Structure 1
């Protein structure tokens, strides 16, 4: 066995949901969704150090995720799932380090992206031993958002997160705001007022005419929403106030779309240029009496 130490590193992008509808619920309790996921240029950094281990698979962790129990940390679970799928002895010491830039409990998919990045790094390093379906199955077992991050480009997502169809989305700019509040995802999904019978918009999403930017934003505003936002506004009145101020500020600068992402609490506004997004950030930062969270200017990543 080689004694060399190998270091792997990659960026793990956050995501936004341009819309998020719940279309049903399976007998096992999992919600069925339709959503337009877009990776964005707000990224964690994932590092893996591999070296031989005489005692089988040994996982060590550095950074903020090291405080989590291993069975909760998705990056550690991704390592164990990958080596288990190989079906052979795994005599490796794996040191994980994640530099966090994506806010947690924000609906931006940071933990899912970190886990997917671990899978991709290990898959590439060991010569792609798992076929695409095996890798997708591993990802889905870790979490509903993890399979999306294996692809790294905008996609229409269905089912419980496993049905992924890449789409072309303009590489526009965003202002992302993470307010001080965090959203209890499980509580939101279990709320009796969560709409779970949305009409499918799949055919409309794939209408090629929506590729014209103006029509896309008009259609999204008119026909879609984030189904979870109303529940968040009910549970967290202070979040509702933050969203109202953020939305008004960004629309004044010219944003055609302002939404909550995922299950929250982060929200975003779309802009045609970096200058407009930066101007909106300055305007939002001036709202010191209300907006006291984190602001990020970044771009939609339009391809892998």
Structure 2
């Protein structure tokens, strides 16, 4: 059987436009509220099917062993749902553009794109809900990327409701440090009592809404994050995404974003991205 390919698949980055910690469950998981925003910037994946059942990551990813890579784990998880008589494999190449530990959802987005692409190429026949259930086994953010559109999230991040977000541009700074999520959520300084909000609260005034409760902790533990926030605040509302480390600000017009990019100090990596309404693979 000839191989099938799917090339140049964008695994989009996400931003947390706000991130509130509203409580903690008895099992230790934190209760959150956030709005996830998709961007037209991220890792690029390439898929080619193979008929021997082997899952092979054909690109090197510094610091990430192939067997522990969410891309490979996602492919194997989907493969395990197929009947014994239908076990295709895949070669998967990745152009890694998003930093590790940046709060942009890079690994989760890669896993979601892998599930979506291979479900299509392998003709596995899983619906979106089934893929989201698989994705949750890989990480809390994976179901959002499979959900396929910007979302208001609650619970531990698994309760997703579609939401409309402002059209515009984001400037994102990479402070050059990787922030481990457990270090933020276990910090004694983290508050867990922000009052719950509603989608209507957000939709009434979405630009600059709320705050990121994890930001204070990350900025204290990682001065590089605090420095990036302080610099970007000169140009507008600046905040951290996820548990860090990347920092962003919204601009309604692209020339304004370009002007800020030109002023970014040379020791930081920075880029702009447009807000998008749905995942590029949402319709396959």
TM-score by length of 1: 0.86
Give yes or no for the alignment of 1:73 onto 2:69: yes
Aligned match of 2:10: 11
Aligned match of 2:282: none
Deviation at 1:271, TM superposition (A): 0.3
Aligned match of 1:254: none
Aligned match of 1:100: 96
Aligned match of 1:133: 129
Distance in 2 of aligned mates of 1:158 and 1:207? 14
SS in 2 for 1:18: strand
Deviation at 1:65, TM superposition (A): 2.9
TM-score by length of 2: 0.91
Aligned match of 2:185: 189
Which of 205, 208, 228 is equivalent to 1:242? 228
Q: Using a 3 Å threshold, how does the CA distance of structure 1 residues 131 and 209 change in structure 2: closer, same or farther?
A: closer
Distance in 1 of aligned mates of 2:278 and 2:64? 32
Deviation at 1:149, TM superposition (A): 0.5
RMSD, aligned CA: 1.9
Distance in 1 of aligned mates of 2:128 and 2:232? 40
Q: Using a 3 Å threshold, how does the CA distance of structure 1 residues 266 and 238 change in structure 2: closer, same or farther?
A: closer
Aligned match of 2:250: 270
Distance in 1 of aligned mates of 2:51 and 2:156? 37
Q: Deviations over 1:213-254 (max 9, x none)?
A: xx3325x1xxx1101100011111232123211222x23xxx
- Residue ranges of structure 2 left out of the alignment (5+ in a row): 280-284
Which range is displaced more, 272-281 or 97-106?
A: 97-106
Deviation at 1:164, TM superposition (A): 0.8
Distance in 2 of aligned mates of 1:238 and 1:144? 26
User: Contact 1:177 / 1:296 at 8 angstroms: preserved in 2?
Assistant: yes
Aligned match of 1:280: 260
Aligned match of 1:206: 200
Distance in 1 of aligned mates of 2:25 and 2:249? 32
Distance in 2 of aligned mates of 1:262 and 1:303? 19
Q: Using a 3 Å threshold, how does the CA distance of structure 1 residues 90 and 23 change in structure 2: closer, same or farther?
A: farther
- Identify the structure with the greater helix proportion: 1
Distance in 2 of aligned mates of 1:108 and 1:47? 20
Distance in 1 of aligned mates of 2:162 and 2:5? 31
